[in-house]
Structure 1
Amino acid sequence: MGLDSVELVMTFEETFGIIVPDEESENIITIQDMVDSVFEKIIINPSEKCLSQLVFYRIRNAFESFGNYKSVITPDSKISDLLSKTDLESDWDQLASKIGLKIPELVDIDLNNSLKSEVRFFGFKIFDRTKPIAENTLRKLTDWIISMNSEELIDIQEISSKYEIERIVCLIIEEKIGIPLSEIEPYHSFHNDLGID
């Protein structure tokens, strides 16, 4: 394990009030492995309320205000299909206001669809642009909003599900390593997919 990995594990330990033995931390390969490790060590307080459902309802209500019918606003709906094609930036600001929670910022490729996903210099690929936010589903948007607002939405002392742990873990990775939430998936390997040593 490299220094970044050790610091991440220490942050997870501090955040959740747990201890991850060195032998165990060496076997944590993916984000899901970390979530499972935390889940095994804390007391879960099940709730009758489903956090992702509550946040999705807020998102759905916001999209209804753009003239969309409730029946077409599903977790698998593509964000860009529910907003105007002419002024995405303005719609995005209105959406944030109507949801009443922090939402991810649009990226360059959202605002300028003529940009290519790869940045090249003299024909060589330098890096990939961050994937467009608006080309994702409402399910993904719900996940990102929960992560971004986890301090407000999740009581760390009263975690009710593995999903809540996942959303907090993803936010910590974004804050500590600088990888956008939109680029973090539970199945990602810390080393191979996210480049964390």
Structure 2
Amino acid sequence: MGLDTVELVYSFEQYFNLDVPDPVAETLYIVGDVAAYFSQRLGVAGQRHSAAREAVQQQLSELLALPLAAFDEGNTTTLGQLLPDAAAVASFRRRASSCGLAVPDLADDRRTGSAGPSFFEKLLGLTPLPPPVPWPALPLAALADWTVVANYEALLPRPPTSEYEVERAVVGLTSDKSGVPVEDIALSSSFTNELGMD
């Protein structure tokens, strides 16, 4: 474990108010593994309901003039259909900001993935960060999840009451400590290989 990951584990311990024994910490390489560990320790494993997510869905549905069901898992409406250009994204960000809600960047340059590793990444043998999320193709549920993560400190109860809330807090803390944007962190992301932490 490098200094970055040691500091991250310490942040998790502080946030969840639970110690992680060193032998366990050495086995936690994936974001989802950390979330599963803390969910188990908190006794919320398998519980998916989150009042915080429902509150975010409500706020987003009002901001975007959409029914609540638009943000449900399985809804096929995509972010690109709703926010087709930079002006629509900027307008949405202004309205969200006026409500005190932090939302993901969703900048135009994040619309498409990278063509591959850069010249310097190839030359130095570096592992490139994962390509940016092609957010226009993702469902509105992703926006609700990212918004919960971006506001985890203000929105999520402590201690968390569901595995969903633990997952969102772990992603939020990881983003804060690594500098990797929320939308680039998946539960399957490796701290060292994909998020560039040592």
Tell me which interval the TM-score lies in, with the shorter structure as reference length: 0.7 to 0.9
Which structure has greater strand proportion?
1
CA separation of 1:30 and 1:71: change in aligned 2, threshold 3 A:
closer
Identify unmatched segments of 5+ residues in structure 1: none
For 2:15 and 2:50, the matched residues in 1 are separated by 23
Q: TM-score, normalised by structure 1?
A: 0.77
Aligned to 1:164: 165
Aligned to 2:31: 31
Aligned to 1:180: 181
Q: CA deviation at 1:23?
A: 0.7
For 1:88 and 1:179, the matched residues in 2 are separated by 24
Q: What do the CA deviations read for 1:16-65 (whole angstroms, capped 9, x no partner)?
A: 11111111111112111101111222355x8976332332232123222x
Alignment partner of 1:137 is 2:139: yes
Q: CA deviation at 1:185?
A: 0.5
For 1:167 and 1:71, the matched residues in 2 are separated by 20
2:70 to 70, 73, 76: 73
For 1:168 and 1:49, the matched residues in 2 are separated by 12
Q: TM-score, normalised by structure 2?
A: 0.77
Q: CA deviation at 1:184?
A: 0.4
For 1:71 and 1:181, the matched residues in 2 are separated by 23
For 2:113 and 2:21, the matched residues in 1 are separated by 44
Q: What do the CA deviations read for 1:80-108 (whole angstroms, capped 9, x no partner)?
A: 20135472344323441576511112324
Aligned to 1:11: 11
Aligned to 1:51: 52
Identify unmatched segments of 5+ residues in structure 2: 122-127
Aligned length: 186
Q: For residue 73 of structure 1, what is the amino acid of its counterpart? A: A
Spell out the pairing of 1:66-145 with structure 2 (5 A cutoff): 70=67, 73-75=70-72, 76-85=76-85, 87-97=87-97, 100-109=100-109, 117-118=114-115, 124=119, 130-145=132-147
CA separation of 1:130 and 1:156: change in aligned 2, threshold 3 A:
same
Q: For residue 70 of structure 2, what is the amino acid of its counterpart? A: I
For 2:104 and 2:64, the matched residues in 1 are separated by 16
For 1:79 and 1:95, the matched residues in 2 are separated by 16
Is the radius of gyration larger for structure 1 or structure 2? 1
CA separation of 1:125 and 1:56: change in aligned 2, threshold 3 A:
farther
